[in-house]
Structure 1
Amino acid sequence: MRLVIARCSVDYLGRLTAHLPLATRLLVVKNDGSVLVHSDGGSYKPLNWMSPPCTLVEVEPTPEEAEAGATACWIVQNAKSDDRLRVQLHEVLHEHSHDLGVDPGLVKDGVEAHLQKLLAEHIHTLGEGWTLVRREFMTAIGPVDILCKDASGATVAVEIKRRGEIDGVEQLTRYLELLNRDPLLAPVTGIFAAQEIKPQARTLATDRGIRCVTLDYDALRGIDDIESRLF
């Protein structure tokens, strides 16, 4: 991971345009190719970013940029579209690179881990004729909770959360993007499963073609007999 604190301006060009005027910011370049631009506020969200796959090339600033004070320029180009970031560096205040190694991934809490185990054991609850491929299917960016096949034999990736929020949908989206590059698996669709799914997360998932499933923990455990409920 490369961390750069610099006075810079940033322009995002592509499906839309956005401009960040000159200010001191944190630039994060990850080994997966992603580039994030942070300010000293706004919580964890970057001001702008480019998701992998993308490439970063450092070039000389144009005469106009140099006249305005830029000493270097980063061009971050998305590999699948015309979207790109142009970062004009005016002054680098700090720079450090460090290899973080392989991340073990998020350790799920007891409920999420148990939900994953129960759903894998009862994968037919997602649909008749569905079959389990495996739990914790490893990818280059972490394990997919459940990889399974639907009744037609198509591959489905399932992300399980106790509480389904936007971050979980984003996580599943990254997995799907990676899995769909594998010709042996593609096309891969997604299911976002949780005991509770926030409306914003459901909207985002639906927009991305991801099916949302609300999990009944007690029913999966076999404690709650759904057929005998009065209401």
Structure 2
Amino acid sequence: MRLVVAHCSVDYAGRLSAHLPLAPRVLMLKADGSVLIHSDGGSYKPLNWMSPPCSVSVSQPDEHEAAGGVTELWTVRHAKTDDVLVVSLHEILHDSAHELGIDPGLIKDGVEADLQELLAEQIEVLGEGHTLVRREYMTAIGPVDILARDANGRSVAVEIKRRGGVDGVEQLTRYLELMNRDPHIAPVTGVFAAQEIKPQARTLAQDRGIRCVVLDYDAMRGMDDVHARLF
């Protein structure tokens, strides 16, 4: 991984256009080819990014750009689309490279890991006709807990939490934004699944077209017969 802290501006062109004005930012260039631009806020969500497969080329600014203070241009091109990310560097404050090796993956706490395994085995909990594609479907920004298909064959990304809050919905939203750029699986809808979903999270999920599913952990483990309850 290469980490660069620099004064830069960023322009994105593709299915949408976006501009980040000149400011100090953190640029992350990962071994998988992805490029992410971060600020000093916004938690772990990048301001803009390019997911792999993509390539980075470095060029010198023209006279007009140089007169405006640009010292170097990074052009990031996606290999399968027309999306282009251009980073105009004005001053590099830090530049380092680190070999991180093979990541062991995310180790979840017991209940979340169990919920993921149980839901993968009982994927019909999401609805009749759903089928499992795989667990821990990897994206450039992390693994989606479950990738499934609905009765119509459409892709469904599932994020699983013990207690579903707004952060979980935001996390799933980022996954969906990225996955829907991949023509091999798009369109992708989202399911936010948890033992308990907070009202604010449910409202945000519904506003973003994400379906909420409450998981009964004991029933899925066969420890509680929901049909034998009096209430």
TM-score w.r.t. the length of structure 2 is 0.73
CA RMSD of aligned residues (A): 3.5
Q: 1:196 to 1:172 in 2, by over 3 A?
A: farther
Matched-pair contact (CA < 8 Å) for 2:139–2:179: no
Once the 2 structures are TM-superposed, how far is the Cα of residue 68 of structure 1 from its aligned partner? 1.6
Q: Output the CA distance in 2 between the equivalents of 1:93 and 1:159.
A: 37
Confirm whether residue 167 of structure 1 aligns to residue 171 of structure 2: yes
Residues 1:36 and 2:40 are matched in the alignment: no
Aligned residue in 1 for 2:56 = 56
Could you say if the C-alpha distance between residues 27 and 131 of structure 1 is closer, same or farther in structure 2, counting changes exceeding 3 Å?
Answer: closer
**Gapped regions of structure 2 (runs ≥ 5):** none
Between the aligned partners of 2:74 and 2:157, the Cα distance in structure 1 is 35
- After TM superposition, give the deviation of residue 95 of structure 1 in Å: 0.8
Letter in 2 for 1:36: L
Q: SS at the partner of 2:17?
A: coil
Give the TM-score taking structure 1 as reference length: 0.73
SS class of match (2:174): helix
In structure 1, the residue corresponding to 2:93 is in which secondary structure? strand
Gaps of 5+ in 1: none
2:19 counterpart residue number: 18
Q: Contact 2:120/2:146 (CA < 8 Å) preserved in 1?
A: yes
CA distance in 1, matches of 2:69, 2:177: 39
Q: What whole-Å deviation, never above 9, does each CA across 1:93-124 have from its counterpart, x for those lacking one?
A: 22111121221221111111121232234333
Count of residues in Structure 1 that have an aligned counterpart in Structure 2: 221
Q: CA deviation at 1:66?
A: 0.9
Q: Secondary structure at the match of 2:91?
A: strand
Distance in structure 2 (CA, Å) of the matches to 1:140 and 1:85: 19
